[in-house]
Amino acid sequence: MADVRALRIGGFSRAIVWRPWWRVLAVGVALLLSLSSCLALGKVPLGPTALWHALCTPSSDTGLIVWQLRLPRILLGALVGGALALSGWLLQQVMRNPLASPDTLGVTSGASAAAVGYLSLLAADSGSAWLPLAAAAGALVAVGLVYRLAWHRGTTPLRLVLMGIGLSALLTAATTYLLVSSAFSTTLSAYVWLTGSVYGGNWSDVARLAVGVAVALVAMGALMRHALLAGVDDALAVGIGVRVQVMRGALTLLAAVLAGLAVAWGGAIAFVGLIAPHLAKRLVRIPGTAQVVMSIALGAIIVMLADLAGRTLFLPRDLPAGLFVAAIGAPFFLMLLIRQVR
User: Does a structural domain hold residue 260?
Assistant: yes
CATH number of the domain within which 214 lies? 1.10.3470.10
Residue 49 three-state SS: helix
User: Does a structural domain hold residue 272?
Assistant: yes
Look up the domain containing 166 and give its range.
79-341
pTM greater than 0.85 (yes/no)? yes
**CB-neighbour burial class of residue 335 (10 A; exposed 0-12, middle 13-18, buried 19+):** exposed
User: Does a structural domain hold residue 43?
Assistant: no
Q: What is the mean pLDDT of residues 25-35?
A: 95
User: Does a structural domain hold residue 181?
Assistant: yes
**Count of domains forming the chain:** 1
User: Does a structural domain hold residue 123?
Assistant: yes
**What is the tens place of the pLDDT at every residue in 96-155?**
777 788 887 888 888 888 888 888 887 767 766 777 788 888 888 888 888 888 887 767
pLDDT of residue 1: 44
